[in-house]
Structure 1
Amino acid sequence: MNNVMINKMIAGAALYCGLVSIPGFAAGTLEVEESIMVNANPAAVWALAGNFNGLDRWHPAIAKSHQAEDVRTLTLQDGATITERLTNYNAQGQHYSYAITSDPLPVKDYQSTLRVESAKNHTSKVI
């Protein structure tokens, strides 16, 4: 499987799992876990998705990514920016976590983890 196909599969998962505004949602904690199976080996998927500063390579909403130490600034296609802080990175375990520190989105205290796991027949589960 080539990188273009992996990009499309991961981007589809990102859009599917993306942030949504829920009118009238009461204050509190909302936890969501989504996953997608990718027909590529975990090493290939991690090589693309595991780059904390590489979100612009596979997420269609991101025009540019810039990283300075553990902080990345994402420029969206419309020019808005999101700043995120890397809170945990485990290359061997193929996962990282981050928190949004500044954004134009209607969210508060956003934290997320991206994880790539091995699945049957040399495929991957991206969570």
Structure 2
Amino acid sequence: MLAVSLFVIGVILVIIEMFTLTFVLLWIGIASIIASIVEYFNHSFFLTFGTFFISAIVLWLSTKRFAKRVSSSKSIKNGVFALVGKEIVVTTVSDQDTTAGTSKVYGDEWPIKANHSIRVNEKVKVLRVEGTTLYVE
């Protein structure tokens, strides 16, 4: 009966973890499921408790390494930061400053600033975005 209870508690904790995303309940739930398997085959309370305790601690300590591996995956650039590295075409150049102008990107007009003189219809690459200005080369 203890094995079934531990298994049910473990499954419930894993389901709750899906809503919290902290990994704490996940590890306790998995440790509970492992302990239920040990209890099913060997009816020793001390062995079951020891298995639960050790597996919970080992899983919890491995969280940092696991989270680092999961978070080290490539992040998707979105919004204005997706423009960094893209080639755009200069639409207009300022009369007073030939290193400044505008470019139409996806239908929106963006102010651009370059480190050299730019010309209309020249292709330039976006280096960074600061505020609403695209810095290009």
Greater percentage in helix:
2
With normalisation by structure 2, the TM-score equals 0.22
Greater percentage in strand:
1
With normalisation by structure 1, the TM-score equals 0.24
**Which structure is larger by alpha-carbon Rg, 1 or 2?**
2
